[in-house]
Amino acid sequence: MQSIKWRTPYSCSVTRKEGNLDIRLLGIAAAAIGIYGLISGRLSRSIISGPMFFAAVGLVTMAVAVGLGEEPTGVVAGGAQIALEMTLALVLFTDAMATNITSWRDQGELPSRLLTVGMPLIIVAGALVGVGLFPELNLVAALIVATILAPTDAALGKPVVSNTRVPGRIRQALNIESGLNDGIALPFLLFFIAIAEAEEGANLISLLLSEVGIGVIVGVAIGWVFARALVLSSERGWILPIWRQIAVVTIPVLAYVAADELGGSGFIAAFVGGLIFGRIVLASYPDIADFAEDLVEILVMVAFMIFGGLLLQPRLGDFTWEMLLYALLSLTLVRMLPVAISMIGKHLRLPTVLYMGWFGPRGLASLIFAAVVIEEVDIPETDFMVTVVTLTVALSILLHGITAYLGSNAYADWYEHQDEDHDQMHESKDDHSTPRRRRISRG
């Protein structure tokens, strides 16, 4: 992939003023992380989520630094690009690591339905709404927007999946959906981008083979080689336990860079590498991803700061009522109806279906996929598409952040009032084999 091109082209030359701005922004980011850490426990029991906090910091900081509606250039934009790409690569890798595909398929009935039935329907519904609301978008462009907004992000509403009063089966279903749907959505996104480029004269089959095929091959190779090397080194006592965890962080970076240099998708390479690496290593070293999970926690919040400053702030004056309507429909009808359809036959009660349908927040994957579109799709509608995605993610950060703590407790209250029926309720069934993401579940 080439470097992401933000709305305002940037130069690699750095003036003293730009350098001072970089240092100040770095200091503000560090201060924001420190302040949030000090009050994180208190905020977790309030309507202010981590993504809300960091997106607001990024928005205000960049508006003051470069002016409201202006976009930074130079090293600031280039550093943001790298930070976003590496964050998603590490997220995809660690999520894939923790995924036991066999047990998820055989035992994880609810996440299976959400991913195999719900997610394709969400993409189709989002595309139909987009075509209906926006004359500017053809079907392919609408499918790209809908695919960008299909993945969910549990980090935007941690209480939804960490509140132990909520049935474990429901929390795990939403957690696993959030962990896997970004990796599943990525091939769809690359496919629709390839169609858009084919309409401009490129070869569709060649694009798919290069992006997906090379990404898969590189991911398998690097995941397998590093897993075997780490196991061998550990068995012979060559590696210290702390470095076993640190080494994990390097694998998705290497997979991403190698695939990117060969013309493939670095994100697919990171995801596939995580699947292979986790399958070989996790049984012997179950805590090997702990450091990577902690690092991801920080990087994700930095990504939301970047979102607020580089994507949301410059576009505040570009939003229209049609975009607002699309964003609202994307977060409600476009998500909730497919979820309800996917749960047919699972005998879940209406409050549970509504809970699962509403709490599908859009976050990290959507904003980074938007950056991929900025980079890959050279059509007149690109900036329009990114603006629609930006508004939808911003609205999700706000609405899902506000409702996560209150909504999870309201649903838990309802569930506890059904105590006489718990033995018969399908919400009460345990699903022990579904994997759990440490950085979310521990919250």
The DSSP secondary-structure symbol of 420 reads G
Dist CA 266 CA 86 (whole Å): 10
The confidence score (pLDDT) of residue 71 equals: 63
Token pair recorded at residue 439: 């950085």
- Check whether 14 has a pLDDT greater than 50: no
Q: Is the pLDDT of residue 220 over 50?
A: yes
User: Is residue 9 very low, low, confident or very high in pLDDT (cuts 50, 70, 90)?
Assistant: very low
Cα end-to-end span (Å), the chain: 35
* Domain boundary assignment for the chain: 16-441
Report the C-alpha gap between 189 and 379 in whole angstroms. Answer: 15
Fold of domain 16-441: Na+/H+ antiporter like fold (1.20.1530)
Q: Tell which residue, 316, 336, 372, has the closest CA to residue 6.
A: 372
Instruction: Report the C-alpha gap between 159 and 207 in whole angstroms.
Output: 41
Q: Please identify which residue in the block is written with the tokens 């420190």.
A: 34
Answer yes or no: are the C-beta atoms of 405 and 159 closer than 8 Å: yes
Crossing angle of helices 382-417/321-331, nearest 10°?
40
The structure tokens 């399908």 sit at: 426
- Tell me what the mean pLDDT of segment 121-129 comes to: 96
DSSP state of 8: S
By residue count, the chain amounts to 443
Query: Over 50: is that where the pLDDT of 143 sits?
Result: yes
Calculate mean pLDDT across residues 27-32. Answer: 86
Is the model more confident about 293 or about 100? 293
Q: Which residue has the tokens 């462009």?
A: 141
User: pLDDT of 37-58, one tens digit each?
Assistant: 898 888 878 888 888 899 999 8
**What pLDDT shows up at residue 12?**
43
Mean pLDDT calculated for residue range 348-352: 92
Tens digits of residue pLDDT in 389-434: 999 999 999 999 899 989 999 999 999 888 777 677 777 765 444 4
Query: Is the per-residue pLDDT at 6 higher than 50?
Result: no
Reply yes or no on whether the pLDDT at 104 is more than 90.
Answer: no
Place of tokens 């309201």: 410
Please give the mean pLDDT across all residues of the chain.
Answer: 82
- Single-letter code of the amino acid located at 278: G
* DSSP string across 347-378: ---HHHHHHHHH-----HHHHHHHHHHHHH--
The pLDDT, as a whole number, for residue 319 is 93
Measured between alpha carbons, how far is 153 from 359 in angstroms, rounded to an integer? 9
Give the pair of three-digit tokens for residue 127: 């595309």
Helix, strand, coil % over all residues of the chain, rounded to 5:
75, 0, 25
Residues above pLDDT 70, as percent of the chain: 83
Count Cβ atoms within 10 A of the Cβ of residue 81 and give its class: 0-12 exposed, 13-18 middle, 19 or more buried: buried
> Using only C-alpha atoms, what is the Rg of the chain?
21
**Mean per-residue pLDDT for 204-225?**
82
Question: What phi and psi values does residue 363 have, to the nearest 5 degrees?
Answer: -150, -120
Instruction: Kindly indicate the confidence band of residue 443, based on its pLDDT and cuts at 50, 70 and 90.
Output: very low
CA-based nearest residue to 184, from 247, 275, 264: 275
Average pLDDT, integer, range 172-187? 83
> What residues contact residue 238 under an 8 Å CB cut-off, 6+ apart?
none
What percent of the chain has pLDDT above 90?
34
What is the per-residue pLDDT for 441?
Answer: 45
Query: What is the per-residue pLDDT across 363-374, written as a single tens digit (0 to 9) for each?
Result: 888 988 887 787
66 confidence band (pLDDT: 50, 70, 90) = low
In this prediction, residues 140-167 reach a mean pLDDT of 88
